Structure 1
Amino acid sequence: MTKSANGGAALSITVEFTGGLELLFSNERKHNITLPAQMDDGSQPNIAYLVRYLVDNVMKDQRQEMFIMEDNVRPGILVLINDADWELEGEEKYELQQGDNIVFVSTLHGG
């Protein structure tokens, strides 16, 4: 466990974007992200929190609708948590752990 900017415990995770999603995130495929280990309400940050954090703090592109829809990951984006489909891990409710690797893969292709 590392320390956050405000001195509290923090989680360090890796987030990757592929399939064209990296274009929305400064054309960078891999991001090392540090999040608070505990939320204000005492819970651990989950994937839903991570998605909001990414949109608010990492995404430089204005086209948020290419990544999220109705405050959730857009249909057509596969989410992997440590190489496992997020559906096996509880989807957006999955509580992030130190060292997690979260991959967002766009399965949508233009034509």
Structure 2
Amino acid sequence: GGLELLFQNQRNLDVVVPERGDGKRPTIRDALIYLKEQHVRERPEMFLQGETVRPGILVLVNDADWELCGGAEYELQDGDALTIISTLHGG
């Protein structure tokens, strides 16, 4: 739905989000920022707005809406799968 262009036409990424310096597990927010900094090659403003996804982008944790898990502050667990889907498209 358009996000592939930001990620060099890759639909699936196997990413390990680095540990935080405060001893806590990385959060979804950490993962989004890491993805933006390390994997988005063009137009990062189309992916994040501040430290969260832009309107029209869905984030799923293990196939459940991230809001059900605690939103951006959810601490990622080993084996969690994030799915990021754009509901917006060109016409």
Residue in 2 that maps onto 1:45: 26
Higher strand share: 1
TM-score calculated relative to the size of structure 2 = 0.93
Higher helix share: 2
Aligned residues: 91
The 1-side partners of 2:61 and 2:14 are apart by 15
2:66 aligned with 1:72, yes or no?
no
Residue in 1 that maps onto 2:85: 105
Q: CA RMSD in A?
A: 1.0
Matched-pair contact (CA < 8 Å) for 2:17–2:30:
no
Percent of counterpart pairs with the same letter? Answer: 53
**Please, which runs of 5 or more residues in structure 2 have no aligned partner?**
none
**Please, which runs of 5 or more residues in structure 1 have no aligned partner?**
1-18
1:60-108 superposed Cα distances (whole Å, 9 cap, x missing partner): 11x1111011221111101110000011001101111111110110011
Give runs of ≥4 in structure 1 deviating > 4 Å: none
